[in-house]
């Protein structure tokens, strides 16, 4: 079912076409095989989470063929530009604020205002990304809970028949994941860059270019807790499992909407969890803004069944509904 493509010009062209059409294609980077999907297409991104069988939405890295393309979607700063010049293409992921023109779907960033971007050092990956011409979201190409794959055979062990194709480039040279560096606080000098995940590029090499980097653990003393928020939550409170709705409430609907809400956002009229996942963060943001404009007091949320992507949707909704400190 899953096409196995040679990594020649024809294979890359086929893979790019599949990605542009919203299908999922695994491809090699220098670190591990990535499970790629068009990052601008919420349904393709929802498909990545479904194929991996993840019970949660975690933010994905957007991949680009060069730094200029990557910096189209985020607000770069001096540190980001210096590191990109020194280490891209390479195993370094930079987390930066999304910009106003950001093309990446909110689900790919798990609803956050920030976005992780990377230019991988693999000739086939770069050729593919250039041919797609759009950011490609790509977590490791394994089922949730399994180890990251470093060969096309590993990819097929977990994902055969769940993805459209795998572009076979043989074994990945690095085999460990990219180093993830948060540069979102590097603007007003107040806050230092933070190492979120050690990986293929040594933190000492980064510090040689931009100065001190906080290791995880040190970070808490330098950042306010709010800045470390690992998930998006609207400012209006959420009421889950709504069976009715009041005029002073906004409604996040799934299937036929309850009558009487002050504002309604439909996740999926047909009750399709993939469509609902693709619209979840956009819906929460819209209801939050619209609800405050109209003087509404909370967001009532209709029940989403816990099968398939419904599990991850419920996980995110209950985090968004949890009391905040």
Asked if 137 interacts with ligand AMP (CB under 6 A), we say no
Q: How far apart are CA 84 and CA 78, in angstroms?
A: 10
Answer for the pair 263, 251: CB distance below 8 angstroms, yes or no: yes
Classify residue 133 as left (phi > 0), alpha (psi -120 to 50) or beta.
left
Task: Report how far apart, in Å, the C-alpha atoms of 263 and of each of 58, 254, 267, 281 are.
Answer: 28, 14, 13, 16
Write down the least CB distance from residue 14 to Mg ion, Å. Answer: 25
Residue, CB closest to Mg ion: 140
E strand or H helix at 250: strand 249-253
Write down the least CB distance from residue 142 to ligand AMP, Å. Answer: 10
Residues 29, 140, 169, 314: which binds ligand AMP (CB under 6 A)?
A: 140
Pick 50 or 296: Cβ nearer ligand AMP:
50
Write down the least CB distance from residue 205 to ligand AMP, Å. Answer: 19
Asked if 197 interacts with ligand AMP (CB under 6 A), we say yes
Binding to ligand AMP (CB under 6 A) within 174-193 occurs at 177, 180
Asked if 139 interacts with ligand AMP (CB under 6 A), we say yes
- DSSP characters over 153-210: HHHHHHHTTTSSEEEE--S-SS-SPPEEEE-TT-SSSSS--EEEE--SS-HHHHHHHH
**Would you give the binding string for ligand AMP spanning residues 26-55, x where CB under 6 A is met?**
------------------------------
* Interacting residues toward Mg ion by CB under 5 A: 140, 148
- Could you tell me which residues are beta bridge partners of residue 87? none
Residues making contact with ligand AMP (CB under 6 A): 58-59, 61, 93, 95, 109, 112, 114-116, 139-140, 177, 180, 196-197
């Amino acid at each position: 079912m899953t096409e196995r493509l040679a990594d020649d010009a024809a294979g890359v062209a086929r893979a790019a076409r599949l990605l542009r059409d919203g299908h999922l294609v695994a491809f090699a980077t220098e670190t591990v095989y990535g499970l790629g999907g068009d990052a601008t297409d919420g349904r393709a991104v929802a498909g990545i989470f479904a194929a991996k069988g993840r019970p949660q939405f975690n933010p994905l890295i957007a991949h680009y063929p060069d730094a200029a393309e990557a910096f189209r979607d985020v607000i770069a700063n001096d540190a980001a530009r210096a590191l990109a010049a020194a280490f891209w293409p390479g195993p370094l992921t930079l987390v930066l604020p999304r910009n106003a023109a950001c093309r990446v779907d909110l689900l790919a960033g798990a609803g956050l205002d920030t976005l992780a971007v990377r230019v991988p050092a693999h000739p086939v990956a770069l050729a593919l990304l250039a041919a797609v011409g759009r950011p490609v979201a790509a977590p490791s190409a394994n089922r949730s809970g399994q180890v990251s794959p470093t060969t096309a055979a590993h990819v097929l062990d977990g994902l055969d028949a769940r993805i459209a194709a795998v572009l076979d480039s043989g074994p990945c040279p690095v085999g460990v994941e990219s180093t993830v560096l948060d540069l979102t606080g590097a603007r007003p000098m107040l806050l230092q860059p933070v190492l979120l995940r050690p990986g293929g590029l040594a933190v000492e090499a980064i510090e040689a270019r931009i100065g001190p980097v906080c290791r995880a653990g040190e970070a808490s003393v330098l950042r306010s807790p709010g800045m470390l928020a690992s998930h998006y939550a609207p400012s209006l409170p959420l009421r889950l499992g709504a069976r009715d709705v009041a005029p002073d409430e906004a409604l996040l609907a799934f299937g036929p909407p309850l009558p009487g809400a002050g504002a309604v956002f439909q996740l999926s009229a047909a009750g399709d969890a993939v469509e609902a996942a693709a619209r979840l963060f956009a819906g929460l943001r819209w209801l939050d803004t619209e609800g405050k404009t109209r003087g509404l007091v909370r967001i009532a949320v209709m029940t989403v069944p816990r099968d398939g992507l419904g599990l991850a949707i419920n996980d995110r909704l209950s985090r968004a509904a949890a009391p905040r400190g």
